[in-house]
Chains A and B, each alone.
Chain A
Amino acid sequence: MLIPVVIGVTLITFTIAYVIPADPARAWAGQKAPPEVVEQIREKYHLNDPLYVQYYYYISGLVRGDWGYSHSEHRPVLDCLMDYFPATFELTIWAMAIAIPVGIYLGVVSAVKRNKIPDHLSRIFALSGVSMPIFWLGLLLILIFYTYLGWFPASGRGITPSHTYTGLYILDSILSLDFQSLASDIWHIILPAVTLSYATLAVMTRMTRSSMLEVLRLDYIKTARAKGLPDKIVIYRHALRNALIPTLTVAGLAFAGLLGGAVLTETIFSWPGMGRYAYHAISTLDFPAIMGVTFLMAVIFVIANLIVDIMYAYLDPRIKLGE
């Protein structure tokens, strides 16, 4: 499945990117570059060749591990992605670590206490999450927790760990037993992670609530209650397990979506991640960078879907892998 998806995605992105009415060589060289430099760039990067020839060069490079040269950064695309992807990945993991448990918990409470005060509060919270612009929330959090209270910093990833193993600062800090960097990095990630998580958390809450409400009406729940099982067992062990399936699908897609769509959070908190890189690449027609980010995202979406499929089988024994 991975190969056709990746080929399809790269082909479509490549075609769209290259039919934009602009001269990429001019954009890469800058306004002041002499015409002969622009022509040299065109020659060097095969921009004068037909589209299919350029695509051939790109794919053959990709197969050899050469992701191309990022013109906006003057270094290989792979180097850029190795810098930016871990930053975004780390932020997304933390955002999901907040969004999934809190979202599910609020959804369950909301469903169980339907039309009561906890339900209303949870629904207001969820509604504001899906409707609040992320940049506004980010700025609000900076204003409250940085400017007025001074509890958290407003920008950056914190202190670089003494050793880099994965590019994930918190994990690297733990692995290198660098506690000063660990404290600084956790301290720095909290506001951006909360900002990034809120919209997903709200969707998780709404999704869990609606699927819980459906499941709670089913006969096997009535049976469980009739058997005299405690409410908590019925809700969390019997109902939630089935209700989680649609929530899980959303979580999987949201995880992959956050990886590519964290540009606003990254901009507000000056987080050096892939969203900002992709945005800059698009605005400067840095095609190899655009292709690199797209390719990576395609792979991540496929992997995220695969993990969700595996989780289905765990949650619902009726679903079997390989069928």
Chain B
Amino acid sequence: MSKGALYGIIAIVVIIIVIGAALAVYYYKPAPSKPSKPTSSVSGTFTWDTIGDPQTLDPAEAYDTASGVVIQNVYDRLVTYHGSDTQTIYPDLATNWTVDSSGKVWTFHLRKGVKFSNGDPCDAQAVKFSFDRVLIIGSPQTGVSWILSQFMYSYNKTTGKWNSPDGESSVRVIDNNTVQFKLREAYGGFLPAIAFTVASIVDPKVVNAHGGVQPGQDNDWMSQNMVGTGPYKFVEWKHNAYIKLEYNPDYWGGWEGKHFQYIMIKNIPEVATREQELLRGDADMAYIPINHLTDVEGKSGVTVNKGGLTYDVDMIEMNCRPTYENKTNPLNSKLVRQAISYAIDYNTLLKDIYKGYAIQMQGPIPKGMPGHDDNLFMYHHDPQKAKELLKEAGYANGFTVTLIYNQGNDVRAHIAQIVKEDLADVGVAVQIQELAWPTLLDKMDRGDYSMIIVGWAPDYNDPDDYAFPFLASYQIGGDTYRTGWHNATVDKLLMEAKYEVDQNKRAELYKEVQQIAMQDPAFIYLAQWKHVAVYRSWLQGYYFNPVMMLDFYHLYKGE
């Protein structure tokens, strides 16, 4: 290469950088680091630095948090929650509803004059179409349609008919503004279940114009695009980078008061980058894990909101099968599982690992959720009692177990270390295994484990969403964690509670279930996370509800 050519390359690079920088300064104005006064009631951009890219934007298939937050704000459902209140269900697209004495027939009267963001009317046909669509597609990738199919008539892909006595689906159009649900089973958690994103109302015209509804198949267009009746409309999705929403001027809820005009959800995997953008004011809100909170706490202009309890829980599941690896499984003994529950030093875990951002989990149903029992027995750290129970079970000399957690989860890695030390104190040796998530799931499915640290987050606000997957046996569709635990009484009580519509009776049934579950534990109930949100102090209108995603509509930039 000649000297001239080399200089040429260097010159070109320098010129491009200089021109680029000049143009950048000239054209591009960075987001102001101080709040600007809104010029109208709908103005500005809410920038949220978070993690994770949605898997799909189609409510019929979405089952992850990143998808859920976008769907919740772009689509509406028949019913919803308001603010932090988890006890009352409020109208959304339905203005009121009635239920018959059997609890199987629900009639919803719809809000009149609601339109999708493209101008199409949202009526009873759209409601029927949306629910039928979820059940016809059957969420072939995630299985989320189970939330509806547990109480609605299912669709037979082979015959093309509904599995109901009259061959019709559960949803019937009474008139343009009235729909009726004829449920297969009266379900105690019906209203909370249809407040979940899977029950979002989509535009039939839009779906039919883009591939329609194919049994057992996802709609590719719907997975990448959205047209809803919600406060925000979809603008752009750059995968792994951001999702942009814009306010829907025709939103039926109106735009009184202050609101953001644009919403920018940025996917920023590195916590340090999120922190810096928050501190400089380029992000209005950022996801900061608890072990990084000290980086932002006390900084000027930053609010760390610690109000409320989530329904996110951590547990250690135990393999309850009689044998494991062709040997007698000590964890098959109820006494041994009790002993291990007594061996754990919960207070140390909460203080050192959860840094005070969790409470001890009181049984399978989280605190705050209907059906939770505030007086339920809880295990506490009692190594002496644990040793006695082990002796009684015939394991005075202890035994060895493996404890698995998923790779990359720092909190669980630390939990494993503490549990190892705690169990060593009572003579049980623990071998810790860090496994990739898919390998862990595979071992769980095959029952090839002793103990695994697991977590659960809510789908909807009902105890059935916790008690059934944890405690019902595999034979009746439960045991999501494959513990192999089986109690015929609990199975009977759980089925009864599932289809009981009297909420007081349900609460009694769940109380009994929880008492049995604590005396014969298949899980070590570790922690229920507290809520933490980090945002700029200029952000107003924020609230937290454990069964809802972040609500953009009520947010605005204060003075």
Contact = CB atoms under 8 A, between A and B. Distances in A.
Given A34-B143, A156-B241, A26 B273 contact: no
Contacts of A153: 30, 282
B239 A83 contact: yes
B280 interface: yes
Contact of A283 (B140, B242, B437, B480): B437
Interface stretch (A1-9, A15-23, A298-306): A15-23
A38 B444 CA distance: 14
Contacts of B17: 186, 190
Nearest to B53: A73
Interface string B3-47: 100100110010011001101111110100000000000000000
Nearest to B64: A30
Contacts of B21: 186-187, 190
A73 B240 CA distance: 10
30 contacts: A21-B439, A26-B442, A33-B63, A74-B141, A74-B218, A83-B239, A101-B10, A102-B10, A142-B276, A146-B276, A147-B279, A154-B273, A155-B277, A180-B28, A182-B23, A183-B26, A186-B16, A186-B21, A187-B20, A187-B24, A190-B17, A267-B269, A268-B272, A270-B241, A270-B266, A270-B267, A272-B240, A272-B241, A276-B269, A283-B408
Interface in B100-151: 139-144, 146
B141 A34 contact: no
A142 B273 contact: yes
Given A23-B438, A37-B141, A155-B266, 19 more contacts: A22-B441, A28-B141, A29-B143, A83-B238, A83-B239, A139-B272, A155-B273, A160-B238, A183-B25, A187-B24, A190-B20, A233-B3, A237-B2, A267-B269, A267-B270, A276-B240, A276-B269, A283-B436, A284-B438
B491 interface: no
A297 interface: no
A215 interface: no
A217 interface: no
Nearest to B440: A22
Contact of A29 (B20, B142, B223, B240): B142
B374 interface: no
Interface string A87-100: 00000000001101
From B30, B223, B242, B270, residue with most partner A Cβ within 10 Å:
B270
B437 A183 contact: no
Given A186-B16, A272-B238, A31 B477 contact: no
Contacts of A233: 3
Interface in A162-201: 179-180, 182-184, 186-187, 190
B241 A37 contact: no
A174 to B, nearest CB: 11
The interface size bin for chain B is 35 or more
Nearest to B20: A186
A72 B268 contact: no
Interface of A: 20-24, 26-34, 36-38, 40-41, 44, 71-75, 80, 83-84, 97-98, 100-102, 104-105, 139, 142-143, 146-147, 150, 153-157, 159-160, 179-180, 182-184, 186-187, 190, 232-233, 236-237, 240-241, 244, 267-270, 272, 276-277, 283-285, 315
A22 B442 contact: yes
B6 A104 contact: yes
B101 to A, nearest CB: 31
Contact of A236 (B6, B438, B480): B6
Contact of B61 (A74, A102, A105, A180): A74
Q: Is the interface of A mostly helix, strand, loop or mixed?
A: helix
Given A80-B239, A183-B28, A74 B270 contact: no
Contact of B437 (A27, A240, A277, A315): A27
A277 B53 CA distance: 11
B220 interface: yes
B27 A34 contact: no
Interface SS majority for chain B? mixed
A70 B167 CA distance: 36
A204 to B, nearest CB: 13
Contact of B270 (A186, A268, A285): A268
Interface of B: 1-3, 6, 9-10, 13, 16-17, 20-21, 23-28, 30, 49, 53, 55-56, 61, 63-64, 139-144, 146, 216, 218, 220, 223-224, 236, 238-242, 266-270, 272-273, 276-277, 279-280, 282, 407-408, 436-439, 441-442, 445, 459, 469, 477, 480
Question: Chain B CB within 10 Å — which of A21, A32, A150 has the most?
Answer: A32
A73 B53 CA distance: 8
Given A26-B438, A157-B241, A236-B2, A182 B20 contact: yes
Most A C-beta atoms less than 10 A away, residue of B25, B26, B269: B269
A247 to B, nearest CB: 10
B3 A232 contact: yes
A28 B144 CA distance: 13
Contact of B273 (A40, A180, A190, A268): A268
B400 to A, nearest CB: 21
Given A27-B437, A267-B269, A33 B143 contact: yes
